[in-house]
Chain A
Amino acid sequence: MPGKNFAIIVASPRARTGKTLLARLIADHFLLAGRRIDIFDTDATEKSLSACFPENSTVIDLDRTVDQMKLFDSLAGPMPESQVIDLTHRSFEKFFKLMRDSDYASEARERGIEPVIFYIPDRDVETYEQGRAIRNFFRDASFVLAENEFLGEIDREARRSEAYLAFKTHQPRMKLTQLDAFLTSVLIDPAFSLSEFMRRVLATKPADPLTPPPGAQPSMAYLSREARAGMTQWLKSAFAEIGRVLQEIENRPVEPARDPFK
């Protein structure tokens, strides 16, 4: 699968909204397609995304100027591959200020890189408002509304809010669907490689037992046939959602870059 180079920013102003899971799914989506990817984990304390991809990830502390340069300068640099940034809620504002002040999106576009913000709102009005502000300001980046069913129902007040309604017809959008507690516990193990799992599932006949190859991730071996089927189904739909959204962005006509200060 050749195609455009993306700089994917997975963002949410809140903790525990599924940013790292979504960033990881996106990264695995690219790896499964045989594409190379650079991963940036901006949570310098927990480093949970970089734990999943120890070989192709960089931990960035956005409080440090050198790290800011490392991130943005490689984001806008000559880029042979796509990039995924897991943006911690602690650096949410800082990151978007830097993105605004450096006029990153238009520089990226000049170099043929498509910046895409995957925004995960929480269940309240405020996160939809923040999302709307980001979407409206960064018009030269693509904005994907990524709703996470793990978070539960959106409250009634939020449903009636102007900000929520502003996203009603927004495209592109995607959903992360619920997964049962056991599979979630398997999923959060950083040693469990999603792309490796899918690659092996796709290479195995459904009836075959999924025996771990020598040196494979051990957690794969623990899955029963039912669990494997459940995991497979969930991952397939998650990867399909991501693939669909990125395809949609790729097919869209390119708008000329705009200076946000004009």
Chain B
Amino acid sequence: MKPAVIVVGADKGGVGKTTIARTLLDYFAAKNVLTRAFDTEYPRGALKRFHPQVTDVVDITAVPDQMKILDTLSTSEVKVSIIDIRAGQLSPALKAFTDVGFFDEVKAGTFNFGLFHVLGPSVASLEEIADIQPYTAGKNYFAVKNFINETSFFEWDPAVYDSYFKKMKGAVEVNIPKLNEMAYEQVDLSAVPFATFSKNRNAQGHIANNSLVLRGYVKTWLKSVHEEYDRIGLIDRLTEAGEN
């Protein structure tokens, strides 16, 4: 398997980028794919709180940190690198990646690339697609509708949505279902991966005292998220050349 980079981002905040990154880390762990993550909520960290062992907090605009991510792709044991891009930095980050020739390497087949663009429920969110489009042609572009926090997408006119969506070559729509609010909050407080919570473990791997009901909600939800990633053939898409 060639090293793959997954960028999770949105220009708008509060659409659940970190949540999506967390589900991806759980997914690859379940598939036994070695994965690392970069948290760009520099210096505080958002993703790192849930996955401290595999996450580095980086400043995506700083050259040393760009090197830390990209220069280690071929040498690292790890096959998938997930970059959780903080709000407002998706376009600059993609531009920086272009400037350092990363996308040329992707075209040349050195690396695989996937972009998880987490959409909010507004049309503004759709307009982001236009900004991001130049970077995604011919690559794995995943338009993520995140329903996890009961975001309603009713605001969207299907015709408007389709007109944006059709412009994207090879765009793949991903739907993340809603998770019971209490379950979501409890995992948040526990600061552990979703999978760990559902297995009733704490961050140290000891038996936790999580509610059976909330664990049930998390387990069922995570299962359906994983099925969604299976459905879009995520692993296959990342192991093949980015033509599909």
> Secondary structure of the A side of the interface?
helix
**Using a Cβ–Cβ cut-off of 8 Å, how many residues does chain A contribute to the interface with B?**
16
- B216:A103 contact, CB within 8 angstroms: yes
Query: Contact flags (1/0) for A64-83 with B, using CB distance below 8 Å?
Result: 01101101110110000000
- A104:B182 contact, CB within 8 angstroms: no
- A102:B212 contact, CB within 8 angstroms: yes
Residue B189, interface by CB 8 Å: no
Roughly how many angstroms separate A69 CA and B223 CA in the complex, as a whole number? 21
- B216:A101 contact, CB within 8 angstroms: yes
Please tell me the size bucket of the interface on B.
10 to 19
Roughly how many angstroms separate A157 CA and B220 CA in the complex, as a whole number? 38
A155 smallest CB distance to B (angstroms): 37
Contacts of B215 in A (CB 8 A): 102
B181 smallest CB distance to A (angstroms): 8
Residue B219, interface by CB 8 Å: yes
Residue B160, interface by CB 8 Å: no
Contacts of A101 in B (CB 8 A): 216-217, 219-220
Residue A107, interface by CB 8 Å: yes
> Besides the contacts A72-B216, A75-B212, A104-B212, what 6 more A-B pairs have beta carbons closer than 8 Å?
A69-B212, A101-B216, A101-B219, A101-B220, A102-B213, A261-B223
- Chain A positions within 8 Å of B, measured between CB atoms, are 65-66, 68-69, 71-73, 75-76, 98, 101-104, 107, 261
What are 25 A-B residue pairs whose CB atoms fall within 8 Å in the complex?
A: A65-B180, A65-B181, A65-B182, A65-B213, A65-B214, A68-B213, A69-B211, A69-B212, A69-B213, A69-B214, A72-B211, A72-B216, A73-B212, A76-B212, A98-B213, A98-B216, A101-B216, A101-B217, A101-B219, A102-B213, A102-B215, A102-B219, A103-B219, A104-B212, A261-B223
